[in-house]
Structure 1
Amino acid sequence: MSTDSDSTAQADQRRLQLELLRRARADAARRSTTAAPDDTAARTGRVPLSRAQRRMWLMERLGGAGDSYHVPFATRVRGPFDPAALATALGALVERHTILRTRYAEQDGEPVQEVLPAPGTVPVPVVDTAEADAPALLREEAARPFDLAAGEAVRARVLRHGAQDHTVLLTFHHIAIDGGSLETVADELAAFYTAALEGSGPPASLTAPPQYADYARREHDGIPGLGPELDRWSALLAGATPPRLPAPAARTTTGSAAVHTVPLAPALPDALRALGAEHRATLFAVSLTAAFGALHRLTGDDDLVIGVAGTHRAGIGMRGLVGLCVNTLPVRVDASGDPSFVQLLIRVRDALLQAQRHRHLPFDLALERLGATARGADGTALVRVTCDVLGEPTVLRLPGTSAAYVDVPTGGAKFTLSYGLAPADAERPTALVQFDRDALDEAAAEATVRDYAALLDAAATTPELPLSALSGLSGQTRRKGDPGSAAHPAVRVLRAHPQVADALVVKTDQGPTVAYAVLGDSTGPSGGELLALLRRSLAPEEVPAAVTLLDELPETTARIPGPAGPAGAALPGPRAAAVIEAFTALLGLTPPPDGDFFELGGHSLVAVQLAERLRTRLGLPLTGLDVLQTRTPSALTALLDERAARQAAAKATARPARPRAVHPGTVLVTGASGGVGAFVLRELAARGRPVLALARPESAHLIAAEGVDVVEGDLTDLAGLRHAVASADAIVHAASTFTRPEVDLAAMEAMVEAWSGGPFVFVSSVDAYGHPRTPQVVEEAPPHEPLSPYGRAKGDCEAMVLRAAGTGGRGGASAVRSPIVWGAHERLREQLRWGAIGTLYQAAARGEAIEVPRPGAGGHPWYGAAWVHAAALARAVTACLDRPVHGVANAVSGHVSWQELAHDLTDLLGTDAEIRERDDVPRDLDHRWHYDSRRLARPLRALPGEDRRSVLAEMIGTTASGPTGQRPGRT
């Protein structure tokens, strides 16, 4: 064979080898984008969730996330656009990344993830839409719930505004994606779209990506080795509490997030970068410093925590990973001492570096180590405030088209308050805050974004000035008041409240001590709420008889209105005369102004009778617990005067009376001004249910709210009860007299007579079981003697409504038996202090010995009580409207022994009261039963902050780790 022919053969062979190599590479690339995910699925089977996924899954199961964790990704696409090619591309993307076709199930009580087969294509519906209608449609589509159990993690919709004008919306669930994934998704989707248009195979440049299931398994397997680092991180966060943000005057019914913005100078980001460079800090650290300064001004707190976004993405092995890899990093900073911006920046920089050393540790593991101490008294989590610097948003860039970002806001807020500098590289940068309108006051949010912007500006111009000397900050300088009054501890507590602009305490020689407060805005806490704050913070002798709100403080105390005015008679006025008369009639003697109710022979039943007598005569809200708390005629008179002022103010600002509209699905709620009723109203409002609330005339102004119509009446007004029942499509009966069973029975009979349709939910009591023979009480167990009159009346009322259910067009009925109810409501707080277990509370508060029955005394191994969180009870009651029990169900959050409760109370009150066990069983503590609670287990499932320790802390007014007041141990 000639040399030329040999050369030709070698060349042909070489070309063949190259072609085979090319085909092999193409086939490998094709298999890497299709078969590889299935191989991973075969290897993984069911794997545990990552810690971040687990948090998302729990939020979905608890029903508290709404659309907060939906990730809408919208782009305005102008030019030739092919929806079919997008559907093919989206199918290829879902096939490539198994996390986008993963379902979430529960196995042995734990969540697991399981990869599903590739769907082929993902539907891309196209809707012709006018441009003006687009925002509402995008918002509606982004808010649609996901079914995580079915493996739904992404969906598409295209709005067609014209032949070459479309808005493409992809909505992901956050459990499957994070911000770091969007760039990967956008790039790969554009590549697959191009291939679909050209009819070619998958792009050879896309090699097999890492799969999220492998990452989740690695994280899960590595957790046991994180113990020492978690201990160190937890130690750094020990004692930190959530910032105390000013709560809104009333909850919204929308639950939506809101944003306030302030435009900044175009050159400001560069100036902030220069400042950061001088102090070895990034632009983000400078922005975070301004957020700490604004938060310090908003709350008055020195020890502050702000969360920043971290990521578990590290190394080339995670390049191209689609999934949820975010981690929250809490940054804890001491803002005390009125630092300059530069001084605060150095503190923030060091704290940020310290937090970033722990970025690979899942934050929720540290929270588990910290326990309830990392939550506020209201159950809020440690990180409720965040900060970020935002870049240019990601858009979907398809060939032959132009792309513009479209903002699609979600309805919920992931955090209570978030500061942001956005976009950092644009010509028109902006300072913004996003906030949850259910948890933060609107005016406070507006003020804090102005402070944030002012601090950013000051950082570029006058960074050496103390924060207090910077101009442009919002807020009022607090008055110093009279030297004498400013020394009163109540003044200091009131002025420390972020929504109180000024305060004054006045005491006359013979009248009671009364506090007066001026709010910094038109909305804020009521006088009663401020009085409750003082009771939680001060010793009894330091607490004024009342807190009255004024528009401004007069220059002299002679112009102060109310019971602490000019000296004269000890208790002037008609309300004082009524109080003295009631004391005299029920106790058989004329009391002195400061005579103690108990020392005069009073007890709980007399307190109820005295309150009912005064309520009827004066037309003011009053309970027996109020009498037990105030104790003296002078203090009770001051309380009535304060409530009269609030009632008059409410009536003066009330909207004109209007005919009550009849809304389909209206729920009648009795006892709406009580502790349980208030939580039921809140739950119904959150679900958008129209409400008709029954309240006594003197209390009607306390519950007026959007979506709630108030009808005046009580259980003794049988005609009014019948009319209210007939006006509603469902009934929640939560009212009770506690001491007059005959009134309860007559009221239930009247309500059942008027009930003609819809469900009926009766909030009953475990007292209806009496004294069961077995320690474990199943639902609907028969009653056993002895039964209290209260418990017998509850059982008789249950029988009435359950017999009538389903007859005469009536709906289903549910009797929800609850034990002790705990929650953040003044009525429930007072019951803790003065109710059935008030002896434990009072002994713990005074530091006296607490006596409890010894386990085994009387032949019973356990003594204690069942309890339920008021919010969980409200969820259970509301659930019965949609799915009646058709019988009796228990609503129990947990059981606590008397020893455990005594330890909780002494810890939270900060006293060292001795706990003594005794062999005889005091009558009030002779409770030894556990109650099954299976029928309503789902709505009763505890949400964050609903554990026993946290709810007791919020009722007592402490953090879960100890008291917050100035005089712990006193009440």
Structure 2
Amino acid sequence: MTVTPPELSCAPAQEVLWWVQHRSARKDVYNLTWRLTVAGLETEPLTHAWRLVTARHEALRTSFARRGDSLVRQVHPASVARSLVDVNEASWPDPLPAEPEALLDELATLLHAEPFDLARAPLARLTLLNVAGRQELLVTVHHAVLDGWALHLVLSDLDEAHRAVRSALAAGTDPDGLTPERVFAEPPVPYADFAERAGRPVSPDSLAYWRAALSGARAAALLPDGPPRPGRDGAVVRHRLTAAASAAVPTVAHRVGSTHFAVLLGAVRAVLAAGGATGRTGIGVVVANRMSAADQSVVGYCAHNVVLADAVAPGDTLDAVAGRARDALWESLPHQHVGFDRVVDELPAADAEALGAMPPVLITHHGRIGGGLALGGAPARLLPSPSSTARCQLVIGVSEEDADTVVEIEYDAATLSEATVRAFLADVEETLTRSAEAPDTAVHAIGVRTRATAGAGVGARPSADAEPAARPAAATAEQAGQPAAELLEFWRATLGVPASADDDFFQLGGHSLQVLSLIDTVEGHTGRRLDVTEWLDRPTPRRMAELLGLRAAAPANPTA
């Protein structure tokens, strides 16, 4: 008998990830893979343990369905976990076609890139790799069901379940008789409560706070270091800060009275400002959005992005910039439950355009998340991400490992080289080290190799069909890149109001699922498919026309 899963409301951030996935050219853009070194694991006990964890947590049994203009979560019953879940295994016998490290890297990249069908649970998978006596476990989930905090909780539960399964097998007991209630001391915290709170209307106080905090701010980004690189998407650099730079973080934090993260956020902002991102600039910050003890135990997708703005003056020291980062983090805390994806629709048009729909530079503090894990009685060490997609220009993840600070940067390889990213990291290290040694040093006096900018459209990939730099005299600035009339008609039919070339979709009252309706309409009439991630930075008819090649015909040159 087929059981119809109950349908529950989604958190707003889940809806955003769903529709971005639905129309992105790369379907793995929001895959999250933790690549762990393990030892001595066997597939059968691991499978039993994974089924127990899946039965315990509704997020691992969740799929999504569209219902008109709404998106719902379908939570499949715990009783079907056995039929939903398996563990994949891949072993490579000798002789190897490459060095073990290279082969494991390639396998991890390929397995990470396998897309999920968001309409089918589970949106998580385990793969056990065995290559030349080395063993790795790949845990891949879709971000719409788990964030990094939740994934750490899941893997802690997996270790506990694995120990219970091994004990049952050692005692000659069938592990199929184990249940989550018998294995885990505490029941799980339901995600539904969080999703319901997250979906409530935004309070006027929070909207007023973010409008004021972001007034006049422009998105900061690195300058592309050359022409677009065809065929490149994303890449990852994992870097352990020098001992001097790692030691500088707590030194500055102690002086300023801030967290380590505020110092690192200040250092990133200082380097961007010294590199040319002048004035009041916005940087994206991933916040955990777990405001209570219960939230901190929720297994689900709770995190989202906010944007924090500041202006670095010529004489500012790192202490001054970090101190303002400290204040911004604390002052925004009561309003961090409102993600930037909800705020940007409510900003004045000029501010929304200057910041874009997605911050080009995004920084997140993992802290000890991903550290201290174990599985099968041995440590499970987290390796660099195998991601090959870029969600924005730079996603800067900061972790602590013992006394060291580790920075992992996912970057847009189509516009930035690895050398440029490593130069940026070196500038951050130099800023930290010099500022720790000489607190009165102005950040602009340190000297950086980074080149940065700020403003509308920065950090976005140029369209393959971009306008040439120079146009014939007969094509005026007003006519350049004008959308075709049929495209503007598609907008009017979707939104119910007329649209001009530079109108923002969301400022006209559009919402995320109407984006899908518009894109479906355009594709149905023209056969041209839009990559929504390329369009989100400037969600206007003009940008859509550029990406799809649906411009109005330019007037003929006048004859002499």
TM-score of the aligned structures, taking structure 2 as reference length: 0.77
Matched to 2:290, the amino acid is: R
Q: CA deviation at 1:375?
A: 4.8
Higher deviation after alignment, 298-307 or 136-145: 298-307
Q: How big is the shift at 1:197?
A: 1.9
> Does residue 324 of structure 1 match 2:285?
no
Q: CA deviation at 1:371?
A: 6.5
Distance in 1 (CA, whole Å) between partners of 2:278 and 2:542 is 21
Amino acid of the structure 2 residue aligned with 1:474: R
State the alpha-carbon separation in 2 of the partners of residues 168 and 337 from structure 1.
Answer: 48
CA distance change for structure 1 residues 376 and 443 in 2, over 3 Å: closer, same or farther? Answer: farther
Q: How far apart, in 2, do the equivalents of 1:89 and 1:432 lie?
A: 30
- Tell me what 1:939 maps to: 529
Give distance in 2, aligned partners of 1:475 and 1:315: 39
Specify whether residues 946 and 315 from structure 1 end up closer, same or farther in structure 2 by C-alpha distance, changes over 3 A only.
Answer: closer
CA deviation vs aligned residue, 1:413-468 (integer Å, no higher than 9, x gap)? 223123455445345x4556442122446554343222111101112111211123
1:511-563 CA deviation, whole Å, 9 max, x = no partner? xxxxxxxxxxxxxxxxxxxxxxxxxxxxxxxxxxxxxxxxxxxxxxxxxxxxx
Match of 2:554 in 1: none
Please give the alpha-carbon distance, in whole angstroms, between the structure 1 residues aligned to 2:501 and 2:67.
38
1:142 is matched with: 112
Corresponding position of 2:508: none
How many Å separate the matches in 2 of 1:354 and 1:394? 29
Give yes or no for contact 1:261–1:449 (8 Å, CA) kept in 2: no
Over 3 Å counting, the alpha-carbon distance change for 1:470 and 1:72 in structure 2 is same
Pick the aligned partner of 1:73 from 34, 50, 58.
34
Listed as ranges, the gaps of 5+ residues in structure 1 are: 1-37, 477-496, 500-677, 683-822, 843-863, 870-890, 905-930, 956-971
Distance of 2:287 and 2:425 partners within structure 1:
23
Matches of 2:501 and 2:45 in 1, distance apart? Answer: 68
User: For the residues of structure 1 that align with 2:418 and 2:353, how far apart are their CA atoms?
Assistant: 21
Q: Which residue of the other structure, out of 424, 427, 436, is the alignment partner of 1:460?
A: 436
- Inter-partner Cα distance in structure 1 for 2:104 and 2:68: 45
Match of 1:866 among 481, 485, 496: 485
Following the alignment from structure 2 to structure 1, what is the Cα–Cα distance between the partners of residues 363 and 449?
20
Q: By how many angstroms is 1:96 displaced?
A: 1.2
The CA distance in 2 between the partners of 1:196 and 1:149, in whole Å, is 31
> In the TM superposition, what whole-angstrom CA distance separates every residue of 1:138-176 from its partner, at most 9, and x where no partner exists?
21111101111112311121112367x522222111111
Q: Does 1:123 align with 2:102?
A: no
Distance 1:840 1:269 in 2: 52
Letter in 1 for 2:31: H
Q: Does 1:335 align with 2:312?
A: yes
Q: Which residue of 1 aligns with 2:129?
A: 159
Counterpart position of 2:285: 308
- Kept after mapping to 2: 8 A contact 1:269/1:424: no
Contact 1:302 1:334 in 2 (8 A): yes
TM-score normalised by L of structure 1: 0.46
Q: Give CA deviations for 1:830-863 in whole Å, capped at 9, x if unaligned.
A: 48x844xx59769xxxxxxxxxxxxxxxxxxxxx
Partner residue of 2:468? 826
Residue of structure 2 equivalent to 1:177: 146
Q: CA deviation at 1:204?
A: 4.8
For residue 209 of structure 1, report the CA deviation from its aligned partner. 0.8
Query: What does 1:259-338 correspond to in 2, within 5 Å?
Result: 259-260=236-237, 264-266=241-243, 268-338=245-315
SS at match of 2:283: strand
Equivalences for 1:538-937 in 2 at 5 Å? Answer: 682=464, 824-826=466-468, 830=471, 834-835=474-475, 866=485, 868=487, 901=500, 934-936=524-526
Q: Secondary structure at the match of 1:250?
A: coil
Q: Is the 8 A contact 1:246 1:299 kept in 2?
A: no
Aligned residue for 1:258, secondary structure, equals: strand
Distance (whole Å) between structure 2 residues aligned to residue 171 and residue 226 of structure 1: 35
Task: Work out the CA distance in 1 between the residues paired with 2:439 and 2:70.
Answer: 51
Residues 1:187 and 2:147 aligned together: no
- Cα 1:210–1:260, aligned 2, differ >3 Å: closer, same or farther? closer
Structure 2 CA distance, aligned partners of 1:73 and 1:271? 29
Which of residues 384, 387, 391 in structure 1 aligns to 2:363? 387
Query: Is residue 67 of structure 2 the alignment partner of residue 107 of structure 1?
Result: yes
How far did 1:331 drift? 1.1
Matched-pair contact (CA < 8 Å) for 1:248–1:437: no
Q: Flag the 1:901–1:407 CA change in 2: closer, same or farther, 3 A.
A: closer
CA separation of 1:88 and 1:892: change in aligned 2, threshold 3 A: same
Q: Which of 242, 247, 251 is the aligned partner of 2:219? A: 242
Q: State the identity %.
A: 23
Matches within 5 A, 1:22-33: none
Residues 349, 933 of structure 1: CA spacing in aligned structure 2 closer, same or farther, 3 A cutoff? Answer: closer
Q: Equivalent residue of 2:297, what SS?
A: coil
Output the CA distance in 2 between the equivalents of 1:146 and 1:285. Answer: 35
The answer to whether the 8 A contact 1:329-1:356 is kept is no
CA–CA separation in structure 2 for the residues paired with 1:253 and 1:945: 20
**CA pair 952-391 structure 1, distance change in 2 beyond 3 A:** closer
CA deviation map 1:23-78 (0-9, x unaligned) = xxxxxxxxxxxxxxx9xx97xx2222211111110111111454231111232222
The 3-state SS of whatever aligns with 1:192 is helix
Distance of 2:37 and 2:502 partners within structure 1: 61
Amino acid in the other structure paired with 1:381: A
Cα distance in 2 for residues equivalent to 1:90 and 1:149? 21
Q: Which residue of 2 aligns with 1:62?
A: 23
Aligned to 1:53: 14
Query: Residue 62 and residue 298 in structure 1: after superposition, are their counterparts in 2 closer, same or farther (change >3 A)?
Result: farther
Change (3 A) 1:953 1:368: farther
Cα gap change, 1:127/1:263 in structure 2, threshold over 3 Å: closer, same or farther? closer
Higher RCO (C-alpha under 8 Å, 6+ residues apart):
2
Q: 1:933 to 1:466 in 2, by over 3 A?
A: closer
When residues 954 and 304 of structure 1 are mapped into structure 2, their CA distance, relative to the original with a 3 A threshold, is farther
Aligned to 1:397: 374
- CA deviation profile, 1:860-917 (whole Å, cap 9, x unmatched): xxxx971549xxxxxxxxxxxxxxxxxxxxx96668999975997xxxxxxxxxxxxx
**SS in structure 2 opposite 1:170?**
strand
Moved over 6 A (4+): 839-842, 895-900, 952-955
The one-letter code of the counterpart of 2:87 is: V
Q: Measure, in 2, the Cα distance between the counterparts of 1:373 and 1:954.
A: 21
What is the count of residue pairs matched by the alignment? 496
Question: Does the residue aligned with 1:435 lie in a helix, a strand or coil?
Answer: strand
Q: Which amino acid in 1 is paired with 2:392? A: F
Take 2:543 and 2:479, find their aligned partners in 1: how far apart are those partners?
15
Q: Secondary structure at the match of 1:149?
A: coil
Kindly state the Cα deviation for residue 99 of structure 1 after the two structures are TM-superposed. Answer: 1.4
Check conservation: 1:75, 1:403, Cα contact below 8 A.
Answer: yes
* Amino acid across the alignment from 1:183: H
Conserved in 2, the CA contact under 8 Å of 1:288 and 1:348? yes
Amino acid of the structure 2 residue aligned with 1:451: D
Query: SS of 1:150's equivalent?
Result: coil
Q: Is the 8 A contact 2:233 2:388 kept in 1?
A: yes
What RMSD, in angstroms, separates the aligned Cα atoms of the two structures?
3.8
Q: For residue 256 of structure 1, what is the aligned residue in structure 2? A: 233
Give the CA deviation at 1:385.
Answer: 0.8
Distance change in 2, residues 1:54/1:126 (3 Å)? same
Q: Aligned match of 2:205 in 210, 228, 235? A: 228
**Which structure is larger by alpha-carbon Rg, 1 or 2?**
1
Q: How far apart in 1 are the matches of 2:528 and 2:7?
A: 25
CA distance in 2, matches of 1:72, 1:932: 34
| Inter-partner Cα distance in structure 2 for 1:390 and 1:317 | 19
**Cα pair distance change 1:292/1:399, threshold 3 Å:** same
Answer whether contact 2:357 2:538 (CA < 8 A) is retained: no
> Counterparts in 2 of 1:517-532, with a 5 A limit?
none
8 Å contact 1:431–1:452 — kept in the other structure? no
Q: Retained in 2: the 8 A contact 1:308–1:386?
A: yes
